[in-house]
């Protein structure tokens, strides 16, 4: 199982099919930069260490709070902890508990659209260059099955949506069909057009965002992920001027 490009690469490497090989890919809008990911983890660890150090100055405890957090797990799609759901999922990082060595505690918990890494990923600013022209879209990876979230199902089949997560499965081969038929699950058959209506990444690559170059310039200057995002997402001077002029004219007309 992997991204469409990984499955396509596997088939190119093997050069032939195998009876005991089942390949599954998923609808992928792009893969984020591992360099940005490493820097983001360093930033949240550094931030936690700094806050612990400040707290330690005013706290009397039998152990030091200055220890560096040890990350034990990361959930990009938390749907339970913190009251998160399927459509408004959370980004949660767990760390080794400083109080109980054999247990974990929450280092970071935010809703996806308020998390810097997720904002950069979902706005397509931090994707690998190859992802903007992916050749493995629209079932071209050679996978037996393609899985994904069924975004937009609340508009098509609201009775099937409980906001706990509804998946969609594309069955490409006889091997994939046989496996899917053996799975016990509640499902219904839908049309291709219904699925891709809100899942266009299945058949086309995302466009290069306007602020991508600006993001990377600031990133390589040593700016934090948050600072680099703010610079990249800031509207250009011409757009800001247009917005200001429209606002002035609107107020003038009201008078």
In tens, the pLDDT along 183-206 reads: 998 999 999 999 999 999 999 999
pLDDT one-digit tens code per residue, 43-91: 999 887 776 555 555 554 444 445 678 889 999 999 988 789 999 999 9
pLDDT reported for residue 209:
94
Mean pLDDT of the chain: 88
What backbone torsions phi and psi does residue 119 show, to the nearest 5 degrees? -65, -40
Are 36 and 57 a contacting pair, CB within 8 Å? no
Q: Supply the pLDDT for residue 61.
A: 45
- What's the gap between Cα 8 and its chain centre? 22
Q: What pLDDT score does 81 carry? A: 81
pLDDT at 178: 95
Task: Tell me the CA distances in angstroms from 9 to 12, 31, 101, one per residue in order.
Answer: 5, 15, 42
| Residues 6+ away with beta carbon under 8 Å from 86 | 79, 149, 163, 164, 165, 166
Query: Which strand (E) or helix (H) includes residue 26?
Result: strand 24-26
Ranges of the chain with pLDDT below 50: 60-65
pLDDT score of 67: 64
pLDDT at 63: 42
| Beta bridge partners of residue 32, listed in sequence order | 127
Kindly report the backbone phi and psi dihedral angles of residue 74, in degrees, each rounded to the nearest multiple of 5, phi listed first: -135, 130
Sign of CA dihedral 30, 31, 35, 37: positive
């Amino acid at each position: 199982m992997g991204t469409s490009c990984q499955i396509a690469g596997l088939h190119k490497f093997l050069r032939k099919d195998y009876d005991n090989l089942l390949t599954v890919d998923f609808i992928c809008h792009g893969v984020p930069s591992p360099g940005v990911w490493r820097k983001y983890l360093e930033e949240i660890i550094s931030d936690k260490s700094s806050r612990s150090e400040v707290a330690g100055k005013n706290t009397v405890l039998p152990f030091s709070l200055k220890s560096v957090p040890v990350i034990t797990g990361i959930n990009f799609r938390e749907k339970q902890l913190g009251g998160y759901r399927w459509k408004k999922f959370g980004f949660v990082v767990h760390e080794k508990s400083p109080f109980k060595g054999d247990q974990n505690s929450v280092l970071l918990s935010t809703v996806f659209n308020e998390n810097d890494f997720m904002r950069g990923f979902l706005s397509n600013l931090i994707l690998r260059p190859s992802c903007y022209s992916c050749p493995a879209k629209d079932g071209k990876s050679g996978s037996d099955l393609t899985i994904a979230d069924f975004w937009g199902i609340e508009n098509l089949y609201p009775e099937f949506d409980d906001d706990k997560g509804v998946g969609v499965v594309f069955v490409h081969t006889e091997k994939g069909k046989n496996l899917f038929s053996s799975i016990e699950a509640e499902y219904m058959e839908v049309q291709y057009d219904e699925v891709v209506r809100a899942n266009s990444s299945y058949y086309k690559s995302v466009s290069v965002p306007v602020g991508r170059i600006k993001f990377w310039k600031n990133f390589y200057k040593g700016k934090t992920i948050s600072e680099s995002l703010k610079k990249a997402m800031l509207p250009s001077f011409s757009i800001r001027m247009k917005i200001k002029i429209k606002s002035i004219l609107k107020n003038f007309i009201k008078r």
